[in-house]
């Protein structure tokens, strides 16, 4: 035990890292949520280890709260996934990549996919204004609406 890592902490850190890889790389919505749950498992395991290390029940109480939050997260995530699936008829996360900022590159890795010809079935999504780019004060914030008002004044 001379300066070596507490073994359960090593397992919990590895679980957290593997869950992070799954959350970042998988394209299936459900697998992303499952990977997030695995990260929560890692945190809970380290909490229980600290609780044993200090001989105190507080870490285990925190783990009960982690369980509560994980249950809430699972319920909300499944409702969200169902409503997203209702729009696109697909669990693919990359169909929602139109929601990214305008100056970001596409997250889809086109060269590595074999059969990546999914039809983009969803309607036109709202786009975000790019952050960090100062707006020209002469250009209106919402040009469509202003032109409509101009039209109204012209009529």
Residues 32-91 that bind another protein (CB under 8 A): 33-35, 37-38, 41, 44-45, 48-49, 51-58, 60-61, 63-65, 67-76, 78-83, 85-86, 90-91
- Asked if 9 interacts with another protein (CB under 8 A), we say yes
Q: Are the CB atoms for 40 and 72 separated by under 8 Å?
A: no
CB of 75: closest distance to another protein in angstroms?
4
- How far apart are CB 94 and another protein at their closest, in Å? 7
Among 103, 115, 131, 142, binds another protein (CB under 8 A): 115
Quickly tell me which residue has 């499952």 as its tokens: 34
The residue written with tokens 């909300």 in the block is 76
CB of 15 to another protein, least distance (A): 6
- Spatial separation of the C-alpha atoms in residues 4 and 149, rounded to whole Å: 71
Minimum distance, C-beta of residue 145 to another protein, in the bound complex (Å): 29
Binder to another protein among 20, 96, 100, 122 (CB under 8 A)?
A: 20
SS3 assignment for 75-118: HHHHHHHHHHHHHHCCCEHHHHHHHCCCCCCCCCCHHHCCCCCC
Counting contacts by CB under 8 A, is residue 128 touching another protein? Answer: no
By three-state DSSP, how is residue 136 classified?
Answer: coil
């Amino acid at each position: 035990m001379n300066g070596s890592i507490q073994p359960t902490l090593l397992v919990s850190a590895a679980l957290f890292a593997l869950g992070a890889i799954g959350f970042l790389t998988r394209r299936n919505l459900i697998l992303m949520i499952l990977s997030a749950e695995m990260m929560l498992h890692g945190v809970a395991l380290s909490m229980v280890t600290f609780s044993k290390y200090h001989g105190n029940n507080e870490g285990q109480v925190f783990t009960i709260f982690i369980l509560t939050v994980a249950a809430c997260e699972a319920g909300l995530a499944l409702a969200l996934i169902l409503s997203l699936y209702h729009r696109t008829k697909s669990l693919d996360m990359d169909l929602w990549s139109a929601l990214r900022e305008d100056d970001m590159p596409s997250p889809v890795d086109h060269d590595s996919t074999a059969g990546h010809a999914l039809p983009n079935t969803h309607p036109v999504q709202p786009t975000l204004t790019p952050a960090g780019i100062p707006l020209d004060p002469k250009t209106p914030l919402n040009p469509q609406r202003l032109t409509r008002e101009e039209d109204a004044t012209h009529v």
